[in-house]
Chain A
Amino acid sequence: MEKEHTVTPEDGEDTAILKVRGLSKTFDHVVALDDVSFDINSQEVLGLVGDNGAGKSTLIKLVSGVYRANAGKVVFGGRQVEFNSPRESRDSGIEVIYQDMALVDELEVWENVFLGRQLRHGFGVIDRKRMIEEAASLLERLGLGSLSPTTQVGYLSGGQKKGVAISRALYWDTRVIFMDEPTAALAVIEIQRVLELIERLREKGVAVVFVSHNLKEILGVTNRIIVLHRGQLTGILDTKETDEDEVIRLMMGGEN
């Protein structure tokens, strides 16, 4: 059963589920991320844009515990957190859907949904039957009912795979989902499907960070947009009050 959750603001106007403060990361002498601060609110879709090498994936990996930051902090659900591995961040409720989708082609749908977190009977024996049932009802609720949970993922289309990855994120008590280029390499009709799924996630109270090169999609689906340029934050924009030109200008570093 997926859990619905409501987010109570810690104080009057603070609805931020995740707060990033002064986050920096240096590889050897290359500064990948430099003093970046922003908030992610629950029930919002936050766009994250920037050119290649702007620091988007470094940022995701810092927040999800793949890398350790050199400076700065992350506050999640009101508590400062420091994740040592993706496992810890997942267990806390931060899920990342990577561009390469992080699915195992050789395994079936249900098993990908429960990857690394299988439900078990006693004695550590995994409960296949229950997981298959849960996966089926999960897919049903996401409008992916035509997908059999026992299909091998390798045989699915790109859009179907995204659906599996998203339903996996949804099953667990996930409060923030980072989606790295979720629409890349998909057919038009499948892109539409994914955007609908994002909308549905937001309705369920999940904060979605949407990373994309496609500014039309970003402007169409997000509430706010943060822009990175060479590791630095160059803008936090309200989607309703901005346009493509401004976003592009900030992506180039804010000049001209």
Chain B
Amino acid sequence: MLSLRILINVLEHSSILGILVIGMIFCLLAGRFDLSSESTLGFSAIVGAWLVSTNIHFGSGWLWPPVAVVLLMLAMGAAVGCINSFFIIKLRVNAFIVTLAMLLTLRGFTYVFTNANTMYDFPESFMALGGYSISGMLPVSVILFLGLFLFSQFVLSYTRFGRDLYAIGGNRAAAFAAGIRVDRQTFAAFVISGMLGGLAGWVLAGRLQAVTIGLGEGMVFEVFAAAVIGGVSLSGGKGNMMGPLGGVLLLGVITTGLSVMPISSFWVDAVRGVLILAAVVLWRITEIYEERWRKSIP
């Protein structure tokens, strides 16, 4: 019973990271990356909370219906993806710089919006995704995040969009010459990443039942770590969803494990770093063996 509860905790804690990782993988497969999703999360949570909460609780006092607000949060995420990809695809600015700038900009906006106040006391339905558990045990966010992983894997394996991303990340020139709409598909990857950032913001707002500045700050490192542990190539064209799901869960186990263990909290970050490194190395070793094995086949 204890271990089941801990396991569900691991899944619940991983759900936010997992949703962001999915978006990042779409971008990574196309040979790009999106640093801004953690800020998209924070920004969407702030704006959403602002619209649904009363002005006593530092909100707008407009009390918009939660359904409209959630749609707006997703649309805002999509808009962030559009802006990112406009600069990256149309103006050919480096993705690192563009999404880093977006990361900082959105984080700055969260301060502007809130004056660094915490917003809370949301309508029940606004907290549905992050806060509810089925029969008090299985959080809705866990089902959502596992479902999203499965669905994304399906998209990658069995749709043109998914296969095109592999081709674009593997050999952009080849993909273009083969008639793949490289720009359009890359654009779609960034839009998906942005929308998932918005979705993650909603889930986290519901889970904490309050929104503060700095939500999601620093998560981008864990997002990359989960993707790399899961065998996604940072240079594009290689990887899938199931590996990074393993990466997300492994990070969840490490983090929860470190909080379960009575080890000094001063050691936690160092130990976590070493464990992440070990996981990446382990992955790389299996990959080297796989390459050898494949080459040995005529």
Contact = CB atoms under 8 A, between A and B. Distances in A.
Interface stretch (A86-94, A184-192, A244-252): A86-94
B90 interface: no
B175 A106 contact: no
B238 A106 contact: yes
Contact of B167 (A101, A115, A120, A128): A115
Interface in A71-115: 85-88, 90-91, 96, 98, 100-107, 111, 115
A107 B170 contact: yes
A141 B173 CA distance: 28
Given A116-B167, A120-B160, A155-B295, A104 B237 contact: yes
B174 A118 contact: no
A102 B295 CA distance: 22
Given A98-B177, A100-B173, A155-B294, A107 B159 contact: no
A91 B179 contact: yes
A126 interface: yes
B166 interface: yes
Interface in A122-143: 124-126, 128
B209 interface: no
Interface string B212-249: 00000000000000000000000001100000000000
Interface size on A, as a range, is: 20 to 34
Contacts of A111: 163, 166-167
B178 A90 contact: yes
Contacts of A106: 166, 169-171, 237-238
Interface size on B, as a range, is: 20 to 34
Contact of B163 (A102, A118, A152, A155): A118
B280 interface: no
A5 interface: no
A117 interface: yes
The secondary structure that dominates the B interface is: helix
A159 to B, nearest CB: 14
B34 interface: no
A176 to B, nearest CB: 15
Nearest to A90: B179
Nearest to B167: A104
B62 interface: no
Contacts of B177: 66, 86, 96, 98, 102
Contacts of A87: 179-181
Contact of A126 (B163, B173, B181): B163
B174 A102 contact: yes
B158 to A, nearest CB: 5
Interface string A153-184: 00100000000000000000000000000000
B176 interface: yes
B12 interface: no
A58 to B, nearest CB: 15
B38 interface: no
A104 to B, nearest CB: 4
B73 to A, nearest CB: 27
Nearest to A121: B158
Contacts of A116: 164, 167, 175, 178-180
A66 to B, nearest CB: 8
Interface of B: 158-160, 163-164, 166-167, 169-171, 173-181, 237-238, 294-295, 297
Given A102-B174, A105-B171, A126-B163, 10 more contacts: A86-B179, A98-B173, A98-B174, A100-B174, A102-B173, A102-B177, A105-B170, A111-B163, A128-B158, A155-B294
29 contacts: A66-B177, A86-B177, A86-B178, A86-B179, A87-B181, A90-B179, A98-B174, A100-B173, A101-B174, A102-B171, A102-B173, A104-B167, A104-B174, A104-B175, A106-B170, A107-B166, A107-B237, A111-B166, A111-B167, A115-B180, A116-B175, A116-B180, A117-B179, A118-B163, A126-B159, A126-B163, A128-B158, A155-B294, A155-B297
